[in-house]
Amino acid sequence: MILNILLGDPHERQFKIRENIQILSEKPAFNNLKEGIYINAVKVKKLLYVFVHLVGPLSYFIISTVWGTFFTTKSTFENISDSLSVMAIYHVFMSLLWFFYLDRLDKDIDQITKEINDNKM
The answer to whether residues 115 and 21 touch, using CB atoms and an 8 Å cutoff, is: no
CA dist 52 and 48 (Å) reads 6
Helices and strands per DSSP (H, E), number in the chain: 6, 0
Is the pTM for the entire model greater than 0.75? Answer: no
- Three-state secondary structure call for residue 81: helix
d(CA 94, CA 56): 11
Residue 41: what pLDDT? 72
Position 59 scores a pLDDT of: 92
Q: How many domains does one find in the chain?
A: 1
Domain interval for residue 66: 2-120
pLDDT in tens, 48-106: 888 888 999 999 999 998 898 888 888 889 999 999 999 999 999 988 988 888 778 87
- Residues 108, 17 contacting (CB under 8 angstroms): yes
